[in-house]
Amino acid sequence: MTLFTASSFIGRLWRRTTTAGLGLALAAVAATSAHAQLRVDISGVGATQYPIAIADFSGAASSTAAPEVIRADLTRSGQFRLINAAGANLTEQSPIDYGAWQSRGADYLAYGTVTQNGGQYTISYRLVDNVRKAELDSAVYSGGEAEMRRISHRIADRIYEKITGVKGVFSTRIAYVLQTGNGYELQIADADGQNPQVMLRSKQSIISPTWSPDGSKLAYVSFESGKSVIYVQTLANAQRQPIANYKGNNSAPAWSPDGSHMSIVLSMDGISQIYTINSDGSNLRRVMRSPLIDTEPYYTPDGQSLVFTSDRGGSPQIYKVPAAGGDAQRLTFSGSYNISPRVSPDGQQLVYVTRRNGAFRIASLSLGSGSEQLLTDGPDDQSPSYAPNGMQVLYSSIQNGRSVLAVTSIDGRVRQTLSVLNGKVREPAWGPFTN
């Protein structure tokens, strides 16, 4: 006997329940501050840690803010070991005693200067390799006080990339749904959970937020009209439009890599099936026909295929099908319950929710070798989303009875927990790289 019914596929998860009602007002609010920052807790370290000292920046009174953000960013990655830089009095022109910093245990050193002219700040930073006795990077950024944190994230990104060879994600953003006693809020925040902004408020459920490839829009499912409708909202001005409001359920939007169209799930024929549609809501096309439920489609990075979840084999498993339609290929074989697939940015890995011994955990599958690794411990981990550099996975979790967002490294060694003091956070989606 199948675990599912067509109506249970409204959102990304079979297990989700909704509390959508009728006739309640919705408020779309762009750039409105949220009530609570996400708090970050970190556990574990990476297999390789780079020893680095981040000296306090000289200059303006606020010069300590930038290195504090940079230190926090690098620490969260689990790939850096911070060396105490107390007592260092460096400017961007200071000669560096590489041997002295090596004796402290620092293979790398970042330092700089912050200058202020009225309401404008200029940050000049340098990164040196103490082992090779060479400068690795330097940059100058300018902006107002409100931009200082963003600039600090960008410097941390540069440090991360220069040392690891992988692009940093500290200046990217995340989206998620916050549920409180007053209803639901679709929020976006910095990748560290700071600077949350409310994009949408509703008395009805909001689910399945997903970023456009350029980071300028979010697609999501809203129940404000008493049924599920897919909307696309522009973040800069809060303007939005419904792109799928067909008979039955409209759910599970996912953008194509070029942003020109989306895959969605509709039940207008009585059972949830996968379609593609232009991002403006035109040119609806059915991908395939199945006698059982197909849902949760997600594009591969080349845009040529979709991974999706189906119970066509008797239990929910993950499959792959050409985006233009064709025969589906089963991808998961371990366990009897695998849902919510996401493909890594390089197309080599798949993460998904798996049920093992009654616990819902995040698993990773090598699409080349077929080997599987369990990344989390459960008991209720859901909605995985890759960081745009593929090095981490964001997901929702129940920890100690609380609803939180969490991040794990792709080897499962380093974990972060992002939690709020009030409400439940769920449905996370990690945004793309932006300029």
pLDDT digits (tens, 9 = 90+) for 315-355: 999 999 999 999 999 999 999 999 999 999 999 999 999 99
Angle between helices 148-164 and 65-77 (to 10 degrees): 40
Is there a contact between 332 and 338 (Cβ–Cβ < 8 Å)?
yes
Report the distance separating Cα 138 and Cα 135, nearest Å.
Answer: 8
* pLDDT in the model for residue 45: 58
Q: Please count the CA atoms within 13 angstroms of the CA of 26 that sit on its side-chain side.
A: 21
**Section 266-272 average pLDDT:** 94
* Residue 38 pLDDT grade (very low, low, confident, very high; cuts 50, 70, 90): low
Cα–Cα separations (whole angstroms), residue 178 to 237, 306, 396, 424: 21, 29, 11, 6
* Residue 42 pLDDT grade (very low, low, confident, very high; cuts 50, 70, 90): low
pLDDT at 397 over 50: yes
Is there a contact between 104 and 84 (Cβ–Cβ < 8 Å)?
yes
pLDDT at 123 over 60: yes
Give me the CATH topology for the region 6-40+170-430: Neuraminidase (2.120.10)
- φ, ψ for residue 192, nearest 5 deg: -90, 10
CB within 8 Å of 331: residues ≥ 6 apart? 307, 317, 318, 319, 320, 341, 350, 365, 367
pLDDT at 203 over 60: yes
* pLDDT in the model for residue 64: 72
pLDDT at 14 over 80: no
pLDDT at 247 over 80: yes
Report the distance separating Cα 351 and Cα 428, nearest Å.
Answer: 14
pLDDT at 378 over 50: yes
pLDDT at 377 over 60: yes
Write out the residue limits of the CATH 3.40.50.10070 domain(s) in the chain.
48-164
**CATH pick for 48-164 out of 3.30.499.10, 3.40.50.10330, 3.40.50.10070, 3.40.50.300:** 3.40.50.10070
CB within 8 Å of 332: residues ≥ 6 apart? 317, 318, 338, 352, 354, 365
User: Pick from 368, 367, 342, 369: which is nearest to 354 by CA?
Assistant: 342
Q: What b/e readout covers 95-123, taking b as 16+ CB neighbours within 10 angstroms?
A: eeebeebeeeebbbbbbbbbeeeeeebbb
Q: What b/e readout covers 372-399, taking b as 16+ CB neighbours within 10 angstroms?
A: bebbbebeebbbbbbbbbbbbbbbbbbb
* Residue 256 pLDDT grade (very low, low, confident, very high; cuts 50, 70, 90): very high
E strands in 245-323: 250-255, 261-266, 273-278, 285-286, 294-299, 305-310, 317-322
* pLDDT in the model for residue 46: 56
pLDDT at 63 over 80: no
Write out the residue limits of the CATH 2.120.10.30 domain(s) in the chain.
6-40+170-430
92 sits in the region (left: phi over 0; alpha: psi -120 to 50; else beta) called: alpha
Mean residue pLDDT across the chain: 89
38-52, 379-393, 400-414: range with highest mean pLDDT: 379-393
Pick from 87-91, 264-268, 308-312: least confident: 87-91
CB within 8 Å of 168: residues ≥ 6 apart? 73, 156, 157, 158, 159, 160, 161, 389
- Percentage of residues in the chain with pLDDT exceeding 70? 88
